[in-house]
Structure 1
Amino acid sequence: MKNPIIISALLFTIITSSCKNSNSSELKEINEQLEILRNENALLKDSISKLKNDDLGDRQLIGIPEGKLQVGKKNRIIFLLHSNKTLPKYEIYTYDGNKENKIGDGNLSKFDYEFIPKSLEDNKIKLKVTFPDKSRPVTMKNETTIPVN
């Protein structure tokens, strides 16, 4: 009866020691990979933090009054934290119904547009910006009404 117990204990010892040796090399390799991943993660965290700080530094505070300002009354002014980032090249159009007229292009997050109203009722500006990406073009339209004096 002692023989099966001794043989079982001996087999268990042999098996566990051989598993320890193979597990030890696998564990060492996993720990090395884990250290590499930790270093890469730290670099990515630093890069993301830098991008966030750079993004805040590239912002402008812009105020847009809602209509004409009135003396002695509460006036609403909308403020935007606008970014001055470079964008992919885009095209600028005026539009009226199906009629479009290309007036320029750009790659900044802002552009100038000059408008000369023809009458007091000529107070709508309709602009369209198109990013002509071959795989998926993106178009944005805007219709702005501005008080004319």
Structure 2
Amino acid sequence: MTSKISLLEEENKLLKDSIKRNAENFLHSLHLIGIPHSKISKVGRNDSIAVLVHPFDIKLPEYEIYKIENNKKIKIENNNSTFFNYKFKPKSINDNRIKLVIKIPEKNKFVEINGDITIDIEN
């Protein structure tokens, strides 16, 4: 009886470790996908990009969204969905690159997922 309990406890530990690894692998497999609402953005006009955290239709822990400007993270909002709209206003024709980072909490640390989106801009 004691050896059976020990065997079951060991199997339980293996299952818990496997579940933990799967959860960590899932977070590390996510990608940001940006879909502009307009084919071409115009200088000085507000626009937005639908940003998907792939895979779709899965609730995530609440995470933080940052934009990167001049190598600095600027917090935009919090979210817990695999979808959010990022609103922006291009300052020039060359302002065609949008960098985003989301930080998802995992235990007592964060998993960071980077997105780099290039769009067409015209005057």
Give TM-score, length-normalised by structure 1: 0.43
Instruction: Give the Cα–Cα distance (whole angstroms) in 2 for the partners of residues 98 and 122 of structure 1.
Output: 15
- The residue type paired with residue 94 of structure 2 is E
1:92 pairs with 65, 74, 90, which one?
65
Superposed CA RMSD: 2.5
Q: Which has the higher helix share?
A: 1
Instruction: Give the Cα–Cα distance (whole angstroms) in 1 for the partners of residues 57 and 91 of structure 2.
Output: 32
Offset from partner CA, 1:49-96 (integer Å, 9 cap, x none): xxxxxxxxxxxxxxx69xx6xxxxxxxxxxxx9522211110000113
Deviation at 1:132, TM superposition (A): 2.5
Deviation at 1:137, TM superposition (A): 1.4
Residue 61 of structure 2 contacts residue 80 of structure 2 at CA under 8 Å; is this kept in 1? Answer: yes
Offset from partner CA, 1:5-27 (integer Å, 9 cap, x none): xxxxxxxxxxxxxxxxxxxxxxx
Deviation at 1:114, TM superposition (A): 0.6
Instruction: Give the Cα–Cα distance (whole angstroms) in 2 for the partners of residues 97 and 122 of structure 1.
Output: 12
Offset from partner CA, 1:19-41 (integer Å, 9 cap, x none): xxxxxxxxxxxxxxxxxxxxxxx
Deviation at 1:147, TM superposition (A): 0.6
Give TM-score, length-normalised by structure 2: 0.52
Bigger Rg, structure 1 or 2: 1
Deviation at 1:99, TM superposition (A): 1.0
2:82 pairs with 109, 114, 130, which one?
109
Deviation at 1:134, TM superposition (A): 3.7
Instruction: Give the Cα–Cα distance (whole angstroms) in 2 for the partners of residues 140 and 96 of structure 1.
Output: 16
Question: Runs of 5+ in structure 2 lacking a partner?
Answer: 1-34, 40-53
Question: Runs of 5+ in structure 1 lacking a partner?
Answer: 1-63, 69-80
Offset from partner CA, 1:90-122 (integer Å, 9 cap, x none): 000011354111000100001011111011110
**Greater relative contact order structure (CA < 8 Å, 6+ sep):** 2
Deviating beyond 2 angstroms after TM superposition, the runs of 4 or more aligned structure 1 residues are 132-136
